[in-house]
Amino acid sequence: MTLTIICSALIFAIPGAYLIARGNSGAHTSSELQTSAANYASKTRDRSGVQIRLEELGRIGRREYENFRIRQAIYCAGSAVFAIFLFLFLGKSFVISIFLSLLIAITVYIYIDRELTTQVKKYRSSLESEFPAVIEMLTLAISAGETPLSAIKRISQSATGQLPQEFARVVNDVRNGTSLHEALDSMGRRIKSVLIRRFVDALVTATLRGAPLVEVLTRHASEARFVQRNRVLSAAGKAEISMMIPVVFLILPISILFALWPSLANLNLFAS
C-alpha cells in the first residue's frame, strides 16, 4: 500500500510538471490532477483503517478520505522529487538517489499515518478526560426534571470540548429523524473508548426499559472519576520514572566524577 501511494504520487506529479511547463492554465491542470488523484484514491482499499480513524475525528465522508490520500501522495511525491535532485546535486549515482528518495518517501508516508494515529489518541484522551464532568452535568440536568434529549442538547450548547461536540452530533441526528437510542449507539460505535461505550450501552438500555436514569448516571459518574484518578496516578508514576533518567545517567555520573577527580589527579601525580 505504501509503495502504491508513492508510485501513484510520482505518476501524478510528472504529468503535472509537464503540463505546467507547456503553459496550460493552472486551474485546468489543478482540476485534472485533483480529479485523477481522487479517482485513484476512491479505488484503493483502506487496509490501514484510515477512514475509520478519520470518522472517529469527525471527518466523515469519502471526500475526507480522498483528501487525506491526496495530501499523503503530494507530500510523498514532493519529498521524493526533492531528495532525487538533492542527492544528484551532491554527486550520488542515479540508482542510489532513487533508492534513498523512495526510502524518504516511505518515511514521510509512515509519518503522516502515525500523525493521524496520534491525533486519534489525543482525541480519545480528551474525550475520556471530559467524560466525568459531562456525565455529572447530565446527571444534574436529568435529576432536575429534563428529558435525556433536552439535557444532551443543553450540554452541547453550553459546554465546550470534544464530548459536547459529539452530543451536538447526536442532537443533529435526532433532528434528522434518527431515534435517540440509535443516535447514542452510533456515537458509542464511533468513539473507540470502552468507558464511553459502556456508558452509552447503559443509557440506551435504561432509556428503552424505563429504568431510573439518575441512578445509572450516578454510578457511571463515580466510575468515571475512579478511572480518571487511576489514569492520573499512572501518569504520575511514569513521570517519576522519566525524571529519574537524567538523574541516573547525567547528574549522578557527573557528581561521582567531581568527587573522584582530585583522587585520580593525585594518583597520576604520584605515578609520574
Quick one: CA torsion of 205, 211, 217, 220, rounded to 10 degrees?
A: -60
SS (H, E, C) 19-65: HHHHCCCHHHHHHHHHHHHHHHHHHCCCCCCHHHHHHHCCCCCHHHH
In this predicted model, what pLDDT tens digit does every residue of 115-139 receive, in sequence order? Answer: 988 888 888 888 888 888 888 888 8
Question: What grid cell was written down for 43?
Answer: 479505488
Cα gap 22→91, rounded to integer Å: 29
pLDDT level of residue 61 (50, 70, 90 thresholds): low
- Contact predicate 158/150, CB 8 Å: no
**Residue matched to cell numbers 447514542:** 184
Output 99 or 238, whichever has higher pLDDT: 99
pLDDT at 22 over 50: no
Distances in Å between the Cα of 90 and the Cα atoms of 48, 76, 97, 113, 135 are 36, 21, 10, 30, 60
Work out the angle between the directed axes of helices 94-143 and 148-158 (0-180°, nearest 10). Answer: 120
Q: Where are the domains of the chain?
A: 2-123, 126-229
Mean pLDDT, the chain, as a whole number? 77
5's grid cell: 501511494
CA distance 7 to 1: 10
Q: Which three three-digit cell numbers place residue 28?
A: 485546468
C-alpha cell at 208: 428503552
Instruction: For domain 126-229, give the CATH number.
Output: 1.20.81.30
What type of residue is 236? Answer: A
